[in-house]
């Protein structure tokens, strides 16, 4: 699976995961290999063209307190953000399978990637 995260500059997306088989496609759509991150960096505007390769976008969000954790931040899949909750574990239980509570998403912090993903959904009809 390929996962996409908002780049700190807010105008690009970082792609990590099983990208090797898709590298030529990523390059054709403006992707540049970042050796320091060991990840591809693509323009935010390319996410629509690259949707067909199966990228799961993760957004930094503020989430409610859960299990042994206080309110804080977590990377949440776009689909869970839209639903308003995500399944999270905690550092003490170590896995979502142990405590695995549905945790409310309180705020999206990666607004640029969220808006771009919303445009992607709108274009798909």
User: Which tens digit of pLDDT belongs to each residue from 57-97?
Assistant: 999 999 999 888 899 999 999 999 999 999 887 777 765 55
Helix and strand numbers, DSSP H then E, in the chain:
3, 8
Q: Which contiguous run of DSSP H or E holds residue 88?
A: strand 85-88
Average pLDDT over residues 25-42: 96
Confidence grade of residue 119 (pLDDT, cut at 50, 70, 90): confident
- Read off φ and ψ for residue 8, nearest 5 degrees: -55, -25
- Read off φ and ψ for residue 28, nearest 5 degrees: -60, -25
**Neighbour count for residue 91 (Cβ, 10 Å):** 8
Residue 20: what pLDDT? 95
* Distance in angstroms (rounded) separating the CA atoms of residues 13 and 116: 10
Average pLDDT, the chain: 89
Confidence grade of residue 121 (pLDDT, cut at 50, 70, 90): confident
Confidence grade of residue 38 (pLDDT, cut at 50, 70, 90): very high
Residue 43: what pLDDT? 94
Residue 108: what pLDDT? 95
Token pair for residue 27? 């390059």
């Amino acid at each position: 699976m390929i996962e996409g995260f908002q780049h700190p500059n807010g105008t690009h997306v970082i792609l990590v995961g099983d990208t090797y088989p898709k590298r030529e496609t990523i390059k054709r759509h403006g992707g540049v290999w970042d050796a320091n991150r060991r990840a591809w960096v693509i323009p935010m505007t390319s996410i629509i063209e690259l949707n067909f390769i199966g990228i799961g976008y993760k957004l930094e969000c503020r989430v409610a307190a859960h299990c042994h954790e206080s309110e804080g931040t977590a990377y949440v899949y776009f689909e869970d953000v839209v639903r308003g909750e995500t399944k999270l574990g905690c550092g003490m239980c170590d896995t979502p399978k142990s405590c695995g509570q549905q945790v409310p998403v309180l705020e999206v912090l990666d607004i640029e990637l969220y808006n771009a993903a919303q445009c992607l959904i709108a274009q798909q009809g």
